[in-house]
Chains A and B, each alone.
Chain A
């Protein structure tokens, strides 16, 4: 500090020695208000001054000085040449970077500098025109502290999103989504277009989430869609892209036909087990010993013929998926009105045959503004249609992702042009097959069934603000989130699968599920600045939410082949000779819940430097027993914009700096009526009765999260480096523990509020301009979040084993709990397991041997890395996402090695199994029980090249030659191009702890064009 002053004095003194003159002037902002403490320096020197309270300055400059630089924290730098003038007045423009952005919290809009919460913003660049149809998946790696993992590559599938670690054991861990002020359903984004989104704000700490009270504990994701600008000319945009999707390959190998035949024979010889024709037709098979020579020769031919066939099942079930997306937009505004409207069409084929998504998204956002009244209307109506594969994400044979591995390599699905399925060869003309027809059956099932969803999704939001008088306004928001999904399930008559239906003539079923959430709030806002330095902003709001769901389904049988696509083709049910004929099945369900709230949000800012935020919310929920129905939630936060203090301003390398801290109480959302003892319909012998479905719990309560956050935002070296650091500690208590009960209690488990869980961590976000010249700009950035999750209390007990995982005090959630694998006994070929004392045994006892040292499926750290390199109109955006420290069960490996499935194809790893004493191998003797052990747990850490875009903005000079055009951009884009991982299954990314032939993420490449006129 002193050094700087000395230097300054020296320079000033030098100035005196040279010829010098005085320049005066005033610095104002865009509104005409004076900017105080703005720095005024002579370019290329450290010589300068700062403006006073009224924005005035006076500076002596040497005669050699050519230009003056004006800079201030919230404004863009301005450089002005001095010339001969002695008075220079300057208007500074507000700058928009991470520190001065607006944070939208749903109830308020805050300047980033006035907001003390931990939040991150994802801009439209990361969201628009990415070839992935689900908005939540696009957030992967884009914001610190946000862990996004998709469980399926079916186009449009929602992702699991976790903010700052898992905060519940059995309850909801899903964040709350708010779109333009209206709460919307999580994981239901298939119908919504991400190209309409302007920004996504991810709110992570209590000062932001406590405003949402009993729904805020898992974080809040605020989606803001694009709006028109007042006083702007109408701009039309056409955005199109086309592309293809391909499958990524797993790291395991299956046997080819030759290996398979050999394997079958070996297993027959070694174990006497018949797992296929390799043994059945073997000369070594004692059952064939007495057969005539001619028969044996015929058997040899069969074996050779089978060994010579190699069917590539991947070619049969997979394809190159086509992708296209087209968007038309128009936006603009007059003095009072502004509008944004878009029509988006997307069609994406999945990499598995039949799966796809096709959708139409319409959006119109209107704004009306007068001096006192402003109304914003946001509307979107979307229609989508999805086709699904059979048995998605299961280990069933009919799941194509499983059957390509189960199917034997010599199984030919088509024989003389006819698809021969299952063992019912008679159905297909008595063709003899020696295999299990697994792939063929799955294929037949895909061909003869339909699994389709039609979805209509609408979101309507109205925001209203009316200024009553000086600083006091009425604010109100109302809206509707609506989703109706109509499912269609057809089994075509006259097909093999159709023969399995009731009555043997196919089936036709439809289901309708409707979700409606009505939302409304209204209140007062008081916003005023006293004495120029005391800024006050208070909201008092009353809110009401009511959500209902309704579902209905039917399945009819006896479908007429000529009317198989309509319910009129169904044969009505009847009773003939006391036997029901084609009796249709009917079902349905419904749910309801309501939330009432009183919300107080207040903010006080002193001199733009010292900030105090506070919120209080009183929530009443229909999901709580009367004793716990109404509960308060709150937060307090404070911030200091140190960058505005003169002593920081004088440190040249710090462009801006703020520190902030917050503490608050929230809860995670609960719906339903779990506190009541309930009976559900239970039918017996045609009579309707009621059976117990839930046992009562009078002490049922919220899961409360107390969260503390401290963070800093900084900009260094003239904003070349920008970033933030947040450290948090989140303690959730009252956590529901699904306490396993003795079956004698009549239910398996009871949810009791007894647990305590801690999430603590650190999140870093940093972006830097590596090169920042006029033509060439290279920005590199990244974020990383470390989260430590620990169960700290479980009430009366210390642990709850849950299948292959355990909930234990001192361990993180998702900890695997399974016996340790100790390899294969070289002498006997038996599998070996570790006892807890470290000794090795051949017995497998999950109760006594299960250990907790094999990790958890939740990552220790995750984040993203981004780089943007632009040269003139060309720019290259590269984005990686990663997660690390997570371990998952690889059930794919398990299935491919378990002798119980030996009649299906197996991994080529089985060829190195133990066969004779002395064999040292990791694959146990055929026929020994293949148990679940730590052998099947693998490291699922990954680094994925998530997105690459190479784009070119055609120069303005060329564009403007065509009348009416204002810009043209062309691009090439790649999604999921590369993945680095040690995981051997399909896809390391998944939303649970086990890999079970999930639909993997596709690798998609697209090319597109954006035209504005």
Chain B
């Protein structure tokens, strides 16, 4: 009996004396925001978190653009239904393929805003710390501008200055912001990019992150869409001067991630992360989901154009199995895992060429840029001549189709020039009539995602989806 008494009293003691502190728990594998943003090393880690969030956002754009445009065709092996509605332009506001980039970019912006707010509250203990703090703010601000630019490119009703673009977020807040005009968004992008340029040191050269060159590249792309030709020329020139075009030997290595030549900014993929190649090729079944369009094959000079082999992978000698080569990657153990190139010097040449073409009296400079790029890519290339602006711009557009193939630019290029999507006969076998997408078609522009429409009372849908 004594023993049981003892047990009883011990139990009592155990229960009653367990202190109230027992309820003050924190999660074992997460960290409270205040603990992350309390010092500069913490804010730096949060900036890494911003890049982690950004990583993958561009994939969504690439996927949507490839499916929507004339870059690819729906291969008969695609038995998964993946992207089929998008490819056939059977699109409404609930379509996930074209809507995914929306949240991906806004989430990144939110995290960037948290980093900026956190870093602004701190001061560095020494110059080195202070410079690091400034760089963190600079990179986060540049990311903010970049994300807004991509949102504008994807979701604006069109690129005219007075048209509706997207809300520009500069603070992390829960709200229902309204769409701002294209012009207003461009102005804010430029302000952010100027701020960023003043904070990021020239010594930062890691192209996995946004550097000063990266800021110029963003600026150049923004200026192109804003039709700010002078801005495009100066920013592209700055980028071109800092990072040269790849040599003919280096060019193929870009796509196997064995060369950093002309890569201004890329989102890095390490082992175990999402493989962008999986979007177009189903490894588990070894089936092609989306193949390189015959139109694209026709556009290339297979023999002399060194880009062909890095763009097209023919998987069969007997059947038409043309895979997208750009995303095979360089890791034999993880095929399909490739770094996603957000900005390359080639694009800078094409931006500058187009800007020169648009500017009166500078056609020659534009022709030079186009020829420089082509001779870097095509063996035995002889310089072409153009007599009109229109002819040059048409050639630039075709060059963009080839140079920037599968890099998420085609659909916005067409929209920027208000051109329809046209697919050739061989590419539309499984398109169920999705042959031409006129600029007046309902689906020509992407809708604002339904989730956003439901959550934000101030959001206005793009005109054709209203």
Chain A interface (Cβ < 8 Å from any Cβ of B): 271-275, 372-373, 375, 397-398, 406, 422-424, 436-438, 441, 445, 464, 466, 474, 476, 478, 497, 500, 502-504, 520-522, 542-544, 546, 557, 579-583, 585, 588-594, 596, 620-622, 629, 672-673, 676-696, 739-748, 750, 800-801, 844-847, 898-901, 903-904, 927, 929
Contacts and interface: CB of A to CB of B under 8 A. Distances in A.
A78 B7 CA distance: 46
B85 interface: yes
Contacts, number: 275
A518 B459 CA distance: 50
B268 A741 contact: no
Interface string B44-72: 11111111110100000000000000000
B3 to A, nearest CB: 10
Contact of A441 (B88, B272, B285): B285
Contacts of A593: 25
A685 B51 contact: yes
Nearest to A746: B110
9 contacts: A438-B79, A474-B12, A542-B16, A588-B29, A591-B28, A594-B22, A743-B452, A745-B175, A847-B450
A689 B48 contact: yes
Nearest to B272: A585
Contact of B85 (A373, A521, A686, A900): A900
B81 A744 contact: no
A351 B466 CA distance: 49
A272 B46 CA distance: 53
B94 A846 contact: yes
B441 interface: no
A601 B84 CA distance: 62
Nearest to A895: B81
Contacts of B272: 583, 585
A703 to B, nearest CB: 19
A845 B442 CA distance: 12
A620 B12 CA distance: 19
A746 B175 CA distance: 10
A680, A689, A744, most chain B CB atoms within 10 A: A744
Contacts of B12: 474, 476, 522
B268 A693 contact: no
Contacts of B29: 588-591, 680-681
A1007 B173 CA distance: 65
Nearest to B331: A579
A442 to B, nearest CB: 10
B330 A579 contact: yes
Contacts of B125: none
A684 B52 contact: yes
Contacts of B53: 682, 691
A542 B15 contact: yes
A196 to B, nearest CB: 26
Contacts of A898: 81
B109 interface: yes
A692 B112 CA distance: 10
A904 B430 CA distance: 14
B208 interface: yes
B25 A742 contact: no
A464 B20 CA distance: 25
Contacts of B50: 689, 691
B391 interface: no
Contact of A397 (B14, B44, B110, B285): B285
Nearest to A588: B29
A927 B114 CA distance: 47
A685 B208 contact: yes
Interface stretch (B31-39, B217-225, B236-244): B31-39
B206 to A, nearest CB: 8
By size class, the interface of chain B is: 35 or more
A816 to B, nearest CB: 15
Contacts of B454: 740, 800-801, 847
B174 interface: yes
A620 B25 CA distance: 12
B110 A464 contact: no
A841 to B, nearest CB: 13
B387 interface: no
Contact of B22 (A271, A466, A497, A596): A596
B432 A693 contact: no
A747 B113 CA distance: 13
A903 B334 contact: no
B333 A503 contact: yes
A688 B41 CA distance: 12
Contact of B45 (A438, A689, A899): A689
Interface in B417-466: 429-430, 432-433, 449-456, 459
Contacts of A801: 454
Contact of B107 (A500, A504, A582, A747): A747
Contact of B33 (A274, A580, A679, A900): A679
B27 interface: yes
Contact of A504 (B32, B113, B333, B455): B333
Top 5 nearest A-B pairs (CB, nearest first) are A689-B48, A746-B110, A691-B49, A682-B52, A677-B33
A438, A579, A801, most chain B CB atoms within 10 A: A579
Contacts of A743: 102-103, 106-107, 449, 451-452, 455
Contacts of B208: 684-685
B4 A691 contact: no
Contact of B28 (A583, A592, A692): A592
B8 interface: yes
A847 B32 contact: no
B298 interface: no
Given A436-B79, A689-B45, A745 B110 contact: yes
Given A397-B79, A542-B16, A684-B55, A745 B331 contact: no
Contacts of B385: none
Contacts of A693: 30
A522 B102 CA distance: 55
Nearest to B428: A272
A680 B92 CA distance: 34
B307 to A, nearest CB: 24
B48 A901 contact: no
B90 interface: yes
Contacts of B106: 742-744, 746
A741 B176 CA distance: 8
A846 B92 contact: yes
A923 B223 CA distance: 50
Nearest to B450: A847
A589 B29 CA distance: 6
Nearest to B31: A679
B77 A436 contact: yes
B38 to A, nearest CB: 12
A694 B429 CA distance: 46
B32 A676 contact: yes
A502 B30 CA distance: 29
B400 interface: no
B26 interface: yes
Nearest to A680: B30
Contacts of A580: 271, 331, 333
Contacts of B45: 688-690
Contacts of A273: 429-430, 432
Nearest to A276: B76
Given A594-B23, A678-B31, A684 B268 contact: yes
B249 to A, nearest CB: 18
B124 interface: no
Contact of B271 (A521, A583, A687, A691): A583
Contact of B32 (A579, A629, A678): A678
B111 interface: yes
B382 interface: no
Contacts of B173: 744-745
A693 B107 CA distance: 11
Contacts of B1: 372-373
A691 B52 contact: yes
Nearest to A742: B456
B287 A690 contact: no
